Structure 1
Amino acid sequence: MPRFSPKFLLVAATLTNLVSAEAMSENRIDLVRPDAPELAAHGEHGVGRMTMQLTNPNQYDIVRIAADETPERYDRPLTVEIFYPAEAHVAPEPMRVILRDGQREVDIHGLSKPDATPAKASAPYPLVLISHGYPGNRFLMSHLAENLATKGYVAVSIDHTDSMYHDKAAFGSTLVNRPLDQMFVLNEMDRLSKDDNSPLAGLIDTSRTGLIGYSMGGYGAIISAGGGVTDKSIGYEWGAPDGLLGMHKAGSTDHETLIDPRLKAIVAIGPWGRNRDFWDAEGLSGVRVPALYMAGSVDDVSQYETGIRKIWEESSGTDRHLLTFISANHNAAAPMPAPMESYPFSDELGWAPFEHYADAVWDTVRMNNITQHFATAFMDLHLKNDTDKAAYLDLIETAEDGVFARNDDGMDKPEHTYWRGFPDRSAKGLMFETRSKGE
């Protein structure tokens, strides 16, 4: 191993710190570390983005119903941010986002440019819906949306009304509306992609749709994929009012009607609900599309052993994976790097908004890169039928048990068992477990 002088090391460390400080001060969400796994790298496309206001008519107004107010139905507004493949050389512009305190607005910097010219030569592209937690907003996972857009996906990130930083309201609204919002946006993207007067005309192939949800977004993804809820959860006094959650009950006609054959795969990150008996083994056996679950092993919100891990175990009606970040908490894998403005203490919250984005053990960019890698492999396999990506999901369970052994020409030796796509010494603190349908 080469030896370097103290002066060289000091200069290198200073340059590294300057780069890191500059990236942090700009609130960059598009960073790919040198030790990132292979598929985290950006693809060939530039990224455009557009904001759309959608309206889902005649929906139950859960907030009013919970407060014993009328009218009980309303036209439900939803804002979406659409990230799409654009011409290769676009000049990115920052995104203006609301912080976790629900008040301050800050700029984050990524790869996307508003209303950039779509790259239509390769269209139509598969659709990936992205659904934030409670609370959250459509930019919380914009690092992942942009990353997927560079690789030939249209990623549509949803602002879920009553569930955002600035409009957080009755939890029952999230319980009922989350899967309804997801499937409504799928239908709207289908409609707009077929409308010659729409900026999305010809851009999206909704027959190849994936869904990525974080926390309550993961809860919604499981219901959308076929995991019906329990009688117990329908009856919670603190849950949805008037038994309205019954529309998602396992085996019910309403729930079966919600399930859409265009949905081909889900990624549920820290999905909430099993820890509160919103599902049981029977309900989770209804999940009928391939599923990739991600979790921190010390998640104290959705719970790991009694929550997320049980979801993975009990989703027996499909092939599924569980990626575990050892010692990470509920912020594992999904949130963008914490904006610098989130560091100070917030009087509104009683804590620093930083805590909403960051993990005490894991570097956020590192987790984002790992998420981008696995989401790319999983979506490419199931939405693009890229069977070569299956090798990135066929892994020894505990990363640190892998052996890195290659010849000088880069070819794997027979004893090589290291995680596919991970540089030597980089597959640490991770587990990846797989179960097949029926297991």
Structure 2
Amino acid sequence: MRLGGLILAAALVLAPLAARAVEVDVVRGEWTDAARGGRVVPYKLYLPKGAGPFPVVVHSHGLGGNREASTYILQAVAEAGYVVVTLQHAGSDSGILGGGGRPATEAGVVAAGRAGMTAEAAQGRYGDLPFALDQIAKDPALKGRVDLAHIGMSGHSFGALSTLTAVGQRLASAPGETRFAEPRIKAAIAYSPNKPRGDDPKGAFARVKTPMLHFTGTADSTPFDLERTPFERTTPYQAISGADQYLIILDDADHALFGGRRVVTGQLKPIDPPQMEIVKAETIRFWNAYLKGDKAALAELCTLPKRLDPAGDGYVKAQRCGSPTPIAPVDGLR
């Protein structure tokens, strides 16, 4: 699509959300989980200034990432009045890169990534969430600042799987149905989710009953994908029923857009800035609707398909919005 059209679409998406940003303090630290052999969980806390309590959003990074991931999204969420906690997952974080940064070749990326795709690394990151929520709840510095009745979770790529696992996705590699499910999560966002590995979609997502917003792009792919096309990343959206679901597919958006790595390196693509504005705006709109009970935001989500044009395609599957937006079914859901 033409850049001018994308910029216009971004402006239209942002218009209803114009609001004064809250100042935010950023605190980094570590928690140690004695119950899991002294596992260390580094975190980054975005804490809005002013009177609380604020709803809480916990974020999980992708493979090879760290607590600095998706900063442009999470800073905006915090400025909108949310306590945001980004977790760093040992075993599948930037430590697998060996201190040399991102490998220069695809083969190097794949080799490094495989080290963080073990069952042990996955289960370690899934266990980080309930531990972190317990730490947040008992931290005296956060007393009166956090609204523990309104907790959301988001994640990118491997973090999207962590998020879906937290809201009830069944894992073929971890028998026990939904043993990693976390009932304190009331709403969730998955950036670049995947179809389930080694499981049928209907069965894998049968127990997910949490309102969700899913993001992907028409160029959203990685060397680790089992998906034949980026469109297959819509599988979780299509398979989940029994709770409001929303899907955004941005034209030409790639996997790195949602992790924000190009923001750090200063190597933004021309289409990045307007797409980033859309990602931030729709993220905040969703959180406002489901964690703050904002009725206007809830109503605006029903108009997602119209608002996104021409920047991409939006899909809505929520009874209160009327008939679901038609979408081409993926394999396993035909």
TM-score, structure 2 length as denominator?
0.78
- Measured after TM superposition, the shift of residue 35 of structure 1 is 7.2
Whether 1:56 and 2:67 are equivalent positions in the alignment is: no
Q: Which of 151, 176, 182 is residue 260 of structure 1 equivalent to?
A: 182
**Are the counterparts in 1 of residues 63 and 116 from structure 2 also a CA contact under 8 Å?**
no
**Structure 1 spans left out of the alignment, 5+ residues:** 1-32, 60-73, 87-118, 235-244, 342-353, 400-418
Structure-2 separation of matches of 1:40 and 1:278:
39
Aligned pair in 2 of structure 1 residues 279, 128: CA closer, same or farther (>3 Å)?
farther
Give the 5 Å matches for 1:7-86: 37-38=14-15, 43-59=20-36, 74-86=37-49
Matches within 5 A, 1:163-312: 163-168=92-97, 169-172=115-118, 173-192=120-139, 195=140, 199-230=141-172, 234=173, 245-246=174-175, 249-250=176-177, 255-256=178-179, 258-274=180-196, 276-277=197-198, 280-301=201-222, 302=225, 303=227, 304=229, 307-312=232-237
SS at structure 1 position matched to 2:56: strand
Distance 1:372 1:127 in 2: 16
> How far does residue 307 in structure 1 lie from its aligned partner after superposition?
3.5
User: Counterpart of 1:319 in structure 2: which amino acid?
Assistant: D
Number of matched residues? 290
Q: Which has the higher contact order (CA 8 A, sep 6+)?
A: 2
Return the offset for 1:156.
0.4
Letter in 1 for 2:277: N
The alignment partner of 2:252 has SS state of coil
- Aligned to 1:333, what secondary structure does the other structure show? helix
Of 392, 398, 411, the residue aligned with 2:300 is 392
Q: CA deviation at 1:321?
A: 0.8
The one-letter amino acid of 2:21's match is E
Query: Does the Cα contact within 8 Å between 2:194 and 2:236 map onto a contact in 1?
Result: no
For the residues of structure 2 that align with 1:151 and 1:49, how far apart are their CA atoms?
A: 15
**Residues 93 and 116 in structure 2, CA contact (< 8 A), matched pair in contact too:** no
Match of 2:279 among 346, 362, 371: 371
1:158 and 2:79 correspond: no
Q: Give the AA of the match of 1:318.
A: A
Give, in whole Å, the separation in 1 of the partners of 2:301 and 2:12: 19
2:256 is matched with which residue: 324, 331, 356?
331
Q: Quote how far apart the aligned CAs of 1:384 are.
A: 0.7
Maintained 8 Å contact 2:195/2:201: no
Is the partner of 2:193 in helix, strand or coil?
A: coil
In structure 2, what is the equivalent of residue 147 of structure 1?
76
Change (3 A) 1:165 1:434: same
Amino acid in the other structure paired with 1:436: A
Shift of 1:57: 2.4
Percent identity between matched residues is 21
Q: Note the alpha carbon deviations across 1:25-60, whole angstroms, 9 max, x for none.
A: xxxxxxxx877623665643111011121012233x
> How much has 1:328 moved relative to structure 2?
2.2
TM-score by length of 1: 0.61
RMSD of aligned Cα (Å) = 2.6
* 1:428 and 2:313 correspond: no
- Quickly say closer, same or farther: Cα 1:41–1:56, change in 2 above 3 A: farther
* Shift in CA distance, 396/75, structure 1 to aligned 2, threshold 3 Å: closer
Counterpart code for 1:228: R
Question: What code does the residue aligned with 1:226 have?
Answer: G
Letter of the structure 2 residue corresponding to residue 155 of structure 1: V
Measured in 1, the distance between the counterparts of 2:265 and 2:56 equals 32
- Per mean C-alpha deviation after superposition, the further-off stretch among 34-43 and 278-287 is 34-43
Give structure 1 regions of 4+ aligned residues with deviation exceeding 6 angstroms: 33-36
Q: Which moved more, 1:156-165 or 1:376-385?
A: 156-165
Deviations 1:402-428 (A, max 9, x none): xxxxxxxxxxxxxxxxx2xx8xxxx42
Q: Which residues of structure 2 form unaligned runs of 5+?
A: 1-9, 98-114, 325-334
Distance 2:54 2:218 in 1: 34
